[in-house]
Amino acid sequence: MALYMLQAKYTSEAIRNIAESGSNREDAARAVIEQCGGKLIGMWGMLGQDYHIALVVEYDDLPSYLGTVITTVLGGAIADFKSIALYSSDDMVKASAVYKAHKAAYAPPSS
């Protein structure tokens, strides 16, 4: 399972529609994420940032995550977004083992 953080910036029209309707966007996000094979870990609003919301999601594979992003971005309410792949401390331990096993395979350029 892979974790991703999606940061998204709403359009002005989307913010107005959310404010006027009182719509719970976490429920809407959860529905599309689950339909595309993912799991919503959490969704938060952010103040004073370039993006309005941050979602942490879990997927079995990258294409399913990307499909979710495409679905939501093309919906028209998202003006901009950023995806960040997340890793756990266990992932870093495993990466360290790969490094140790293969570090001799690479030599930096010499002067």
Local confidence pLDDT in tens for the 111 residues of the chain: 899 999 999 999 999 999 999 999 999 999 999 999 999 999 999 999 999 999 999 999 999 999 999 999 999 999 999 999 999 999 999 999 999 999 999 988 987
In this predicted structure, what is the pLDDT of residue 2? 94
In this predicted structure, what is the pLDDT of residue 38? 98
Q: Helix (H) and strand (E) counts for the chain?
A: 4, 4
d(CA 53, CA 55): 7
Instruction: List strands edge to edge, sheet with 2-10.
Output: 39-45, 53-59, 2-10, 78-86
Backbone phi and psi for residue 96, each to the nearest 5 degrees, phi listed first: -60, -40
In this predicted structure, what is the pLDDT of residue 26? 96
In this predicted structure, what is the pLDDT of residue 71? 94
The single residue listed with the structure tokens 């966007």 is: 25
